[in-house]
Amino acid sequence: MSLNAAIIRKDFPIFERLIRGENRLVYLDSGATSQKPNAVIDAEADFYRQSNAAVHRGAHQLAEEATEAYEGARLIVANFLGAREDEIIFTKSATESLNLLAYAMGNSLKGDRFHLGADDRIVVTEMEHHANLLPWQQLSKRTGAKLSWFNVGPDGRLDLSDVDSIIQEDTKVVALTHQSNVLGTINPLDAIVARAHQVGAVVILDACQSVPHMSIDVEALGVDFLAFSGHKSVGPTGVGVLWGRSELLNELPPFLFGGSMVSSASMTDATWAPVPRKFEAGVPNMAQAVGLGAALEYLENIGLENIHAHEIALTGRLIEGLLEIEGVKIFGPTDLKMRGGVVAFTVSDIHPHDVGQYLDSLGIAVRTGHHCAWPLNKKFGINATVRASIYLYNDEADIDALIEGVRGAKKYFGDR
């Protein structure tokens, strides 16, 4: 079954508005944040209108309904990832999910599985978003653990020629992205996961750019922890997810301390509630979690396979069209088997900001800049790129508008 973007767009009210005058919205910035369908907006608003109460507290009807809605969302997320309900932790963002892991590990006492010291190693990659680089870099500084990384080759793929020498025996953590938010590269995980587990390390996957766009099964991936954000998955802002294997989450100490996360507390000590409550201190972002549940149901109704196939077809059209323009350089693989629908490029020596501004005047929204991946930009010797990112509501006309817009920008800044 193929996907009809024109029908899907009707579910997203934002496409009814006009941009910079009379232009229709060509939204190619879903890698930064996705637009929201009515189903999500309504689910969030309905929670406030109908069921609002603090979850897991109180004996009244609203508290029961709120708890049911919130825990219902957790079940939806679990099913979406092929995971167990008690392995799903709601956070405020994917950034918080990754920081939760880094800080919780930092809280591990000597002798614990996750304790890090000067004899241990953390492995990342050169293509990480700052959200999956800085927590580990800073944890390494705090604990003295060594930091190593996989390099990125000129083709925009990880250099996996010598996995064993990067993931050494002393490695405890391997954190990497599933799909680069700049290059679009989808990283093959098997060799990394196998080696990490061989040396007793856990694998943490930043799945922000993959979960919204392709069918994910955590068991099949073989990783140990996975983070993604609600707002990139047609869900609300203010909610993220951390998935982890039960036995690991049980061993991991908490990060945030407060209400709802204890099984007992005295003036001098406390014990922790079972996972996931141990990691959800305070009244959570309930309406947002419920909205995320609606978002994932929306995506499942359309079908992740359909969404992925649709995006890949459009990505092919975009890459082909861009490469026909003299002076356009694409960063990342052009082979559609190795990438998702995120395409970063430069246009001759026109600064990406200027290209983006020109496109904006036509109603085309793209991202410009370093995309929160400075080390990667430096590796490629660039300060910034234009990034177009594709989602289920985009169609051929959007892609063609972008290609035409890039030609226009060249003319505007070149031939005047």
Partner 1 sequence: MQLDNLYQEVILDHYKRPEHKGLSHLSDVQVHHVNPSCGDELTVNLSLVDGTIVLSWDGVGCSISMASASMMAGLLTGKSLQQAGEVVDAFISLMQSKGTQSGDEEVLEDAVAFAGVSKYPARIKCALLGWMAFKDAAVQVQGKKSLGSES
Summarize as ranges the residues that interact with partner 1 (CB under 8 A).
20-21, 351-354, 357-358, 361, 368-370, 374, 377, 383-384, 412-413, 416
Q: How far is the CB of 369 from partner 1 (least distance, A)?
A: 5
Nearer to partner 1, 201 or 388 (CB): 388
Cβ atoms < 10 Å from Cβ of 305: 12
Task: Return the DSSP state at 157.
Answer: S
Parallel/antiparallel/unpaired status of strands 26-27 and 364-365: parallel
d(CA 206, CA 187): 11
Q: How far is the CB of 91 from partner 1 (least distance, A)?
A: 25
Catalytic hit among 76, 249, 372, 401: 372
Q: How far is the CB of 368 from partner 1 (least distance, A)?
A: 7
Q: How far is the CB of 239 from partner 1 (least distance, A)?
A: 25
Would you say 280 and 271 are in contact if contact means Cβ atoms under 8 Å apart? no
In degrees, rounded to 5, the angle at the alpha carbon of residue 247 between the alpha carbons of residues 227 and 200 is: 80
Partners of 89 in the beta sheet?
242
Task: Return the DSSP state at 224.
Answer: S
Nearer to partner 1, 69 or 355 (CB): 355
Nearer to partner 1, 20 or 57 (CB): 20
What count of Cα atoms within 13 Å lies in the side-chain half-sphere of residue 201? 27
d(CA 402, CA 345): 12
Catalytic (active site) residue 208: no
Q: How far is the CB of 412 from partner 1 (least distance, A)?
A: 8
Cβ atoms < 10 Å from Cβ of 415: 6
Nearer to partner 1, 26 or 192 (CB): 26
Nearer to partner 1, 272 or 412 (CB): 412
Q: How far is the CB of 382 from partner 1 (least distance, A)?
A: 8
d(CA 171, CA 286): 37
Would you say 198 and 170 are in contact if contact means Cβ atoms under 8 Å apart? no
DSSP codes of every residue in 25-66: PEE-BTTT-----HHHHHHHHHIIIII-S-TT--SSHHHHHH
Indicate the SS3 state at residue 209: coil
Helices and strands per DSSP (H, E), number in the chain? 14, 17
Catalytic residues: 372
